[in-house]
Amino acid sequence: MPEALQHLITEMTPWLQQYGYLLLFLAIAVEGFGIPAPGQSLLIVASLLAATGQMSQPLVLIVACAAALSGNSLGYFIGRRFGEVLLRKGWIKPQLEDKIHSVIGQYGIAALVLSRFVEGLKQFMFIGCGLAKMPFKTFVMGNLLATSIWVTLFGLGPVLIRDEIAPILTFYHQHKYPTWAIVSLLLVFLLHFSWRKWQVKNQ
């Protein structure tokens, strides 16, 4: 097992053993409305603990989904109702607001999915959606899609590939730039196809 992953497990396991699903829920939920927390790291470790029988895999996935959906929704309503106040108080910097609006304007519903994988952006994207007055129906669709992909990757992924993590990481470090190029092209194609399909459906 890679040293970084082993360190993560060693560091996070005592917290999960002591506070369990409540800690997992809170850490994931608060990220949805602007508070940095190790939600993703805890989800990875909880998934691996579930694989050894120390936690329940279905409960880990349910708690993660519920936390992400509710935290993101709260962030959206905070942005929609109190966004201008947050800007005046300086709690959201104008540069960050411009960046979020740019991402939303360029990628639309796909921005919610992309933001789940970008630190700093994922904590404010959902507040930004509310601040930008994104239609509620669009937000709900994006929230469901983003949460489903994120929980699948980090709630099930570590269990499915735990025995292959070391060779996968070795391959990645040896072929970092070609890997990123291929993944980026596939992601752009998938997002473009999904967006076009959604536009046609809603015309």
pLDDT in tens, 43-70: 999 998 988 889 999 999 999 999 999 9
171-195 average pLDDT score? 65
**C-alpha–C-alpha distance, residues 47 and 49, integer Å:** 5
Confidence grade of residue 147 (pLDDT, cut at 50, 70, 90): very high
Which of 52-56, 170-174, 191-195 is modeled with the greatest confidence? Answer: 52-56
User: Which residue has better confidence, 84 or 7?
Assistant: 84
**C-alpha–C-alpha distance, residues 157 and 146, integer Å:** 15
Give the gyration radius of the chain's Cα atoms.
18
- Whether the per-residue pLDDT at 180 is higher than 60: the answer is no
Give the position of tokens 């070391």: 166
- Whether the per-residue pLDDT at 166 is higher than 70: the answer is no
Instruction: State how far the alpha carbon of 143 is from the alpha carbons of 13, 72, 102, 130, 134, in Å.
Output: 28, 7, 18, 12, 12
DSSP class of residue 153 equals I
**What is the length of the chain?**
203
Look at residue 101 in the predicted model and tell me its pLDDT.
79
- For residues 146 and 121, the answer to whether their CB atoms sit within 8 Å is no
User: Which residue has better confidence, 103 or 18?
Assistant: 18
CA dihedral of 76, 80, 84, 85, whole degrees rounded to 10: -70
* Burial letters 141-175, b for 16+ CB under 10 A, else e: ebbebbbeebbebbbeebbeeeeeeeeeeeeeeee
Of 168, 157, 166, residue with least CA distance to 50? 157
**C-alpha–C-alpha distance, residues 52 and 30, integer Å:** 27
**C-alpha–C-alpha distance, residues 146 and 151, integer Å:** 9
Q: Which two tokens stand for residue 197?
A: 């399909």
Helix extents (H) in 32-124: 39-51, 57-89, 94-107, 110-115
CA 7 to chain centre: 22
Confidence grade of residue 25 (pLDDT, cut at 50, 70, 90): very high
Confidence grade of residue 197 (pLDDT, cut at 50, 70, 90): low
158-177 average pLDDT score? 62
**Is pTM beyond 0.85 here?**
no
DSSP class of residue 142 equals H
- For residues 79 and 128, the answer to whether their CB atoms sit within 8 Å is yes
